[in-house]
Structure 1
Amino acid sequence: MLNLAINHMTAPRLSHIELLELARDTGCVGVEFRTDLGRPLFDGEAPEAVGQRARDMGLRIVGLSQVYPFNAWSDAIRDEVAALIKTATACGAETISLIPRNDGAGLGDGERQANLRLSMRAIRPMLQDAGMVALIEPLGFLRSSLRSKADAVEAIEALDAVGVFRIVHDTFHHYLAGGGPVFPEHTGIIHMSGVVDQSLGMPEIEDQHRVLVDAQDRLGNIDQIERMLTIGYTGPISMEAFSPLTHALTDPAAELARSFEFIRGRLAALAGTTAMAENIVHTQ
């Protein structure tokens, strides 16, 4: 069973209640809410009430986003982290999201690692006191101060913060960063989205090109997810599409259900092929 979820960025026009209903109706385990949709979080409803509503619907709040740029440490960032932890605790969110600087600054080797660890050292006791997990999301853009999942994992292990910090495996950013190793044991969530415009060179691909995953996807979503599942990942897999074309869908429920069905079908086919191949090997 796939633990599918929906990030509110995929359908930002929906209210928080409508997002929960969409998740329930498409067979998801939960949702990710966001603070950056240009309106009050939870449309002004108390986080405790939102958490209870989700639980009553049999859904999880798998994440609450976001603090940016968390690795440009300051008193203001500290306050943002504290506020997000407080809200996440109130609504029962399982994680908060930390997004690295993405403006071309702090890219130097040594500098980016030092900035990352400085922020993580300061945030770790805040998380531990609250019993909260923070998800660090490497961004594959060339302008990102944290492109490598390996750098994030190295910092987590060096700071003895395994389980306090986890990483996001984002299929879009993994592609832009050139692929590389994956770390299922350190991964707290998979974000997926598709890019279907074949005319774009890699440096031209931006968030605005991220649509629902279908057969035209060029990012290798199915292969990435199948790889993660095969080597032990069991957590949420959340659709996070930023494209205005996706946001403008008149029937997001139908389109999202179609995308989820495609993903389930392709993964099931791969699982069947793998099982058959293993059976052939074992009977030879």
Structure 2
Amino acid sequence: MRTFTLPGTELTVSDVVLGLMRIQDKTDEEVRALVSSARDAGINFLDHADIYGDGVHGCERRFGEAVRLTPAERERWVIQSKTGIVKQGPYFDFSYEHIVESVHGSLEALGTDYLDILLLHRPDALVEPEEVARAFDDLAAAGKVRAFGVSNHTSHQIELLRRYVEQPLVANQLQLSITHAPMIAQGLAANMQGLEQSVARDDGVLDYCRLHDITVQAWSPFQSGFFDGPFLGSSRFPELNAAIDRLAARYDVSAEAIAVAWITRHPARMQVVLGTTTPQRVSAAAQGSEVRLSRAEWYELVRAAGYLVP
């Protein structure tokens, strides 16, 4: 498993992240087995959110109850959580009170004194960035959060926050897979009139993040689109799966590993967030961190996914 120092922090992080949004109904033994499989694969980064699971902090509490980290174990993990979505309304809330209350709830549920990273989960159109800045200042000063970032934000939304927030915004968690890659594919076909792929939808967020040392964390790396099923093994993507299977055989890894390797091959030094609850799939996907696709192989997958490479 490749690791790197997360820009803007002193944290050494793995290329691959274990996401824990689906553990609510898992037993203690199943949660521990999942986390152990990640650790054994070299993953040292866990991703949570206050809205994952039943009620608020459901999956965070399930993790805390099942794993019960000792102080020494806690130091071996980079733990990230997210806040800002309120499922039953008002839907999005970046107020000072909500951010601080959410962090306190996450800490209690997880059984830890601090978060390594806190992300603002989805943009709040009613954001008052001064309130966000005050919340971040107070949480940092109290030692409750060590670093901050965002999720699903455009470059201009990040710029607005950066005007007020003192701390560096170190991550932006964005949906990305071979088949859901507009942030990459648009640039390949820029200035091509009449082509859907050439339409800019995100203010050039990937290049923006690279310019400002913001690490992109790719969520749903196996989803074909927005929660409409995986592309791996899907009859909807025969050419892509044939190419993936051929590369998997060449590198002696799983198809999941090739899907991960496509993301980690990009020079933006992105992380891949896994959402599986199957330990075997975690181990298989984590192998992708060590696979370095050639340029020809990387672009072959782009074409096979249905994107134009002029």
Alignment partner, residue 93 of structure 2: 72
Alignment partner, residue 221 of structure 2: 194
* 1:6 alignment partner, SS class: strand
Residues 260, 271 of structure 1: alpha-carbon distance in 2 compared, 3 angstrom cutoff: farther
Residues 65, 169 of structure 1: alpha-carbon distance in 2 compared, 3 angstrom cutoff: closer
2:273 to 236, 239, 242: 239
Offset of residue 221 of structure 1: 6.1
2:273 corresponds to which letter in structure 1? M
Alignment partner, residue 209 of structure 1: 229
Residues 169, 21 of structure 1: alpha-carbon distance in 2 compared, 3 angstrom cutoff: same
Cα RMSD after superposing both structures: 4.2
Q: Is the 8 A contact 1:30 1:60 kept in 2?
A: yes
Offset of residue 62 of structure 1: 2.8
Alignment partner, residue 27 of structure 1: 42
Offset of residue 259 of structure 1: 2.1
* 1:151 alignment partner, SS class: helix
Residues 100, 34 of structure 1: alpha-carbon distance in 2 compared, 3 angstrom cutoff: closer
* 2:93 alignment partner, SS class: coil
Alignment partner, residue 53 of structure 2: 37
1:83 to 100, 104, 111: 104
2:281 to 251, 255, 259: 255
Offset of residue 64 of structure 1: 2.4
How many corresponding residue pairs? 228
- With normalisation by structure 2, the TM-score equals 0.56
Runs of 5+ consecutive residues of structure 1 not aligned to the other structure: 107-111, 139-145, 198-204, 275-284
* 1:123 alignment partner, SS class: helix
Residues 74, 135 of structure 1: alpha-carbon distance in 2 compared, 3 angstrom cutoff: closer
Aligned pairs for 1:164-183 within 5 A: 165-172=169-176, 175=181, 178=201, 180-182=204-206, 183=209
Q: Is the 8 A contact 2:46 2:79 kept in 1?
A: yes
Given the alignment of the two structures, is residue 137 of structure 1 paired with residue 151 of structure 2, yes or no? Answer: yes
Mapped partners of 2:105, 2:230: distance in 1: 26
Runs of 5+ consecutive residues of structure 2 not aligned to the other structure: 4-13, 184-200, 234-240, 245-254, 299-310
Identity percentage over the alignment?
8
Mapped partners of 1:51, 1:191: distance in 2: 29
Q: Is the 8 A contact 1:166 1:186 kept in 2?
A: yes
* 2:47 alignment partner, SS class: strand
